[in-house]
Structure 1
Amino acid sequence: MAVQILFLTWGIAGAASGSGTPEGCQGLTGDDLDACNDASDIGTTIGVGIVVGFWVTADFTLGFTYVI
């Protein structure tokens, strides 16, 4: 159960870190700001996807070892 809580916390923290305007986008306007925000959102999505992938891998591994 502790592993589930760890991954859930990690996923929520990763998703929350993508909210707002990133520091690298400060001072940009118009299309440049939109592109920078979109790139940040894509990076956040990829990061959360990787966390979910680790989560699934850990669950399968723990489940397999429990069966054995």
Structure 2
Amino acid sequence: MDNARAGSLGFTYDPVTFRADPARDVRRACFRVRKVLEGIVHDTVALEGNPFTLPEVKTLLDG
């Protein structure tokens, strides 16, 4: 990183030290998505002005 960018950003870093996380378990990722999906859907529905409660959203997602 050149000095002009370092001065404007206020920090420097070495891009080589940043590594991607190793591949994670797909089952764990699916579990985590299912745990938060109801809340995300409920928040989205509330932002759109639909009068659904969280239990109603859970019932809707369960089928």
Question: TM-score when scaled to structure 1?
Answer: 0.34
User: Between Structure 1 and Structure 2, whose CA radius of gyration is higher?
Assistant: 2
> Bigger relative contact order, structure 1 or 2, given CA contacts below 8 A and separation 6+?
1
Which structure dedicates a bigger proportion of its chain to helix?
Answer: 1
